[in-house]
Chain A
Amino acid sequence: MTATSRLSRDLWQVAGFAAAIGVAATLLDSGVWLTFAMMALYGALLAQAWNILGGFGGQFSFGHALFFGVGAYTQVIAQVTFGINAWVALAGAVLLAAVVGALVGALSFRYGLRGSYFALVTLAFAEVFRIGAVSVGFTGGGVGMMLPLNESPAQLQFGSRRGYLLLIGAMVVAALLVTAWLRHSRFGAQLQAVRDNEDAARAVGVDPFRTKLLAIILSAAFMGAAGAFYVQVFQYLDPSIAFGPHVSVEALVGAIVGGMGTLWGPVAGAFALHLLADLTRNLFGQLPGVNMVIYGVVLVLIVMFLPRGLAGLVGSGRFSARRLLGRRDD
């Protein structure tokens, strides 16, 4: 297959997925299933955002909640404090998260932080923002902020889950399109080259700093969108929801369970994790922490036994066949 036909195959798949979301939003009328689809897609957005930097760029962030929280606070503060329209606020949330991504990326990558060091510095940045959000006035401090109820599509608030399902679906499709572009573009190839061997990539003329910087900006922008979505759905935000470890963990576990550096892995991972979480909720009730225990156990088991994630299960046969033919597209 040529590069263009591989790209168009990905695009057809994404189009099919978009259509499936549309059908689901029309046909599903049980609140339980609509909520499940919405939350699984929200998890897919987190995982796909992490995947852009972690999976394709090889930079493992343990503090992606940082960008989520910046987006979420932008969304709520813009509306509550400044009376800005929700759609405009959403654009601002994406933009500000991307700016924070650029700043963190510029600092970390300028000084060549890799591996554990990068994981640590992202974790520390998220923690600084969490403490900052508790301490300063305009975030409402530890009490948090409420988004007043104002049901109207013009205010990004919908009467039923259906509207939110379409909103998050659109965001996930956008993330998938960017991922498809990463898989088949020159920039994506450079990013993956930096991931696999930074020194070798530099030797053939790739600028690792610029490449990783663009990746973290894209990744942060989608996290910001996820934060804004969270605020619109749950209409409440506090510092530990925004910057606490939960979101960072959900993003990276989803991507790793599904398969890093793949198009569909993070989506599959997020759906699998949400299914698992819902099943255990039915079995054990609302025990606090039970979800996260499962996330942790699944993470350890996947790293132990399925280092390529769920995508590795599906792709392994074709992957080896392709390799025999000397072709490798992922």
Chain B
Amino acid sequence: MLSLDILFPSVLNGLTTGAVYALIALGLTLIYGVLHIINFAHGALLMVALYAVYGLRQGLGLDPYLALPLLVPGMFVLGYLLQRVVVNRASHGKDENILLVTLGISIVLENLALMAFKSDTRTIETAYTLTTVPIGPAFIALPKLVAFGGALVASAVLLLIVQRTDLGRAIRAVAREKQGARLCGIDVDHVYAMSFGIGLACLGAAACFLMPAYYVNPQVGSGFVLVAFTIVVLGGMGSFAGALVGGLLIGVVESISGLLLGESLGQIGIFAIFIAVLLFRPQGLFGAKA
């Protein structure tokens, strides 16, 4: 059987990856909770953010962590505009249309990246890329540890915004009862766009934390998109606590099933969970009954 010496590092690694998954999923679940749409372009937009981090590093020599103050507002503005100018106009009030439009956006972004960067996988080198930190019997790469901490802090900030600010109250009001919120004088279209923007800002942060220990290619987003959906569905659509717990859980599941089944087959563990949850408990672990 597996010894603890192998299992422990694997679980730790899974948790660090899971925290970044959780951050990506938080953005997705926010957009779902408010707009009741599934943003299929989430993975492709993460890919765009990763290329931005890569470009800033290669072009201007900017450290990925120092790119945070650029990426987070940049992705926010992109999200705000995307929702206002494209998604909202195309929806005609029908959810299926939003599904198709976000799918269209993801196809365009992925293939524009393919045209611009070819399908090569790119990585960046930093002074701390190969630094490891001993934790008990395990050695964890420093960037992964930073990503873990950073993702948790970013999630906390997001929760504070949603729970404690006027904007957060407006977002929750629109999520609960759109018409009522409108009657109270809330600009619903603005709140939609803000939610979309904040959702993408999460991706900007996630990209900065991911890039030092990860890679980017035009298809990188599609790997994340199903993982993020799995987490959102597992945690319960629109549930923040669910996305956090689900993210960490999925990170660990992926890491352990990778250990048992090998790298490529390891992903099947995630999809198996995804299909099982969709079929048997579509409201998720934390979600209210659909």
Indicate if B7 sits at the interface (CB-CB under 8 A). Answer: no
Q: Which of A115, A125, A245 meets B99, CB within 8 Å?
A: A115
Task: Give the residues in chain B near A256, CB-CB below 8 Å.
Answer: 100
Task: Give the residues in chain B near A135, CB-CB below 8 Å.
Answer: 264-265, 268
Query: Which stretch in B45-53, B107-115, B160-168 binds the other chain?
Result: B107-115
Q: Are B37 and A245 in contact (CB under 8 A)?
A: no
CB distance from B275 to the nearest CB of A (A): 5
Task: Give the residues in chain B near A31, CB-CB below 8 Å.
Answer: none
Indicate if A67 sits at the interface (CB-CB under 8 A). Answer: no
Query: Which stretch in B11-19, B61-69, B72-80, B276-284 binds the other chain?
Result: B276-284
Query: Which stretch in B85-93, B122-130, B202-210, B238-246 binds the other chain?
Result: B85-93
Indicate if B218 sits at the interface (CB-CB under 8 A). Answer: yes
Task: Give the residues in chain A near B118, CB-CB below 8 Å.
Answer: 288
Q: Are B271 and A128 in contact (CB under 8 A)?
A: yes
Q: Which of B112, B268, B278, B282 meets A293, CB within 8 Å?
A: B112
Nearest chain-A residue to B223 (Cβ)?
Answer: A127
A-B contact pairs, 15 of them (CB 8 A): A60-B99, A107-B279, A111-B278, A111-B282, A113-B278, A116-B38, A119-B99, A120-B278, A125-B275, A127-B226, A289-B110, A297-B104, A299-B101, A303-B100, A304-B86
Interface size class on chain B is 35 or more
Indicate if A37 sits at the interface (CB-CB under 8 A). Answer: no
CB distance from B97 to the nearest CB of A (A): 5
Interface SS of chain A: helix
Distance in angstroms between the alpha carbons of A290 and B113 in the assembled complex = 10
Q: Are A123 and B226 in contact (CB under 8 A)?
A: yes
Q: Which of A113, A128, A249, A300 meets B101, CB within 8 Å?
A: A300
Indicate if A279 sits at the interface (CB-CB under 8 A). Answer: no
Q: Are A119 and B268 in contact (CB under 8 A)?
A: no
Indicate if B21 sits at the interface (CB-CB under 8 A). Answer: no
CB distance from A249 to the nearest CB of B (A): 6
Beta-carbon contacts under 8 Å, B244-273 to A: 264-265, 267-268, 271-272
How many residues from A make CB contacts under 8 Å with B? 40
Q: Are B86 and A300 in contact (CB under 8 A)?
A: yes
Residues of B within 8 A of A (CB): 37-38, 40, 86, 89-90, 92, 95-97, 99-101, 103-108, 110-115, 118-119, 218, 222, 226, 229, 233, 264-265, 267-268, 271-272, 274-275, 278-280, 282
Given contacts A111-B278, A288-B115, A299-B107, 20 further A-B contacts (CB under 8 A): A60-B100, A107-B279, A113-B282, A115-B96, A115-B99, A121-B278, A125-B275, A127-B226, A131-B268, A135-B264, A245-B222, A252-B100, A288-B111, A288-B114, A288-B118, A289-B111, A292-B110, A300-B90, A300-B104, A304-B86
Indicate if A144 sits at the interface (CB-CB under 8 A). Answer: no
Task: Give the residues in chain A near B111, CB-CB below 8 Å.
Answer: 288-293, 296
Q: Are A120 and B101 in contact (CB under 8 A)?
A: no
Task: Give the residues in chain A near B272, CB-CB below 8 Å.
Answer: 128
Distance in angstroms between the alpha carbons of A179 and B274 in the assembled complex = 33
Indicate if A68 sits at the interface (CB-CB under 8 A). Answer: no
Distance in angstroms between the alpha carbons of A132 and B222 in the assembled complex = 17
Task: Give the residues in chain B near A125, CB-CB below 8 Å.
Answer: 275
Task: Give the residues in chain A near B104, CB-CB below 8 Å.
Answer: 296-297, 299-300, 303
Q: Are B271 and A124 in contact (CB under 8 A)?
A: yes
Q: Are A108 and B279 in contact (CB under 8 A)?
A: yes
CB distance from B23 to the nearest CB of A (A): 20
Q: Given A304-B101, A307-B97, A111–B265 Cβ distance below 8 Å? A: no
Distance in angstroms between the alpha carbons of A116 and B274 in the assembled complex = 14
* B-contact bits for A93-120, CB 8 A (1 contact / 0 none): 0000000000000011001010111011
Q: Which of B97, B113, B278, B279 meets A303, CB within 8 Å?
A: B97
Q: Are A300 and B105 in contact (CB under 8 A)?
A: yes
* B-contact bits for A168-188, CB 8 A (1 contact / 0 none): 000000000000000000000
Indicate if A39 sits at the interface (CB-CB under 8 A). Answer: no
Distance in angstroms between the alpha carbons of A299 and B226 in the assembled complex = 22
Q: Are A299 and B103 in contact (CB under 8 A)?
A: yes
CB distance from B220 to the nearest CB of A (A): 14
Q: Are B100 and A124 in contact (CB under 8 A)?
A: no
Q: Are B267 and A131 in contact (CB under 8 A)?
A: yes
Q: Are A120 and B105 in contact (CB under 8 A)?
A: no
Task: Give the residues in chain A near B229, CB-CB below 8 Å.
Answer: 120
* B-contact bits for A139-150, CB 8 A (1 contact / 0 none): 000000000000
Distance in angstroms between the alpha carbons of A5 and B199 in the assembled complex = 54
Q: Are B114 and A289 in contact (CB under 8 A)?
A: yes
CB distance from B85 to the nearest CB of A (A): 10
Task: Give the residues in chain B near A297, CB-CB below 8 Å.
Answer: 104, 108
Distance in angstroms between the alpha carbons of A236 and B115 in the assembled complex = 25
Task: Give the residues in chain A near B265, CB-CB below 8 Å.
Answer: 131, 135
Distance in angstroms between the alpha carbons of A289 and B107 in the assembled complex = 9
CB distance from A125 to the nearest CB of B (A): 7
Task: Give the residues in chain B near A293, CB-CB below 8 Å.
Answer: 107-108, 111-112, 115
Distance in angstroms between the alpha carbons of A296 and B95 in the assembled complex = 18
Task: Give the residues in chain A near B97, CB-CB below 8 Å.
Answer: 303, 307
Task: Give the residues in chain B near A113, CB-CB below 8 Å.
Answer: 278-279, 282
Q: Are B99 and A116 in contact (CB under 8 A)?
A: yes
Q: Are A289 and B112 in contact (CB under 8 A)?
A: yes
Distance in angstroms between the alpha carbons of A297 and B37 in the assembled complex = 20
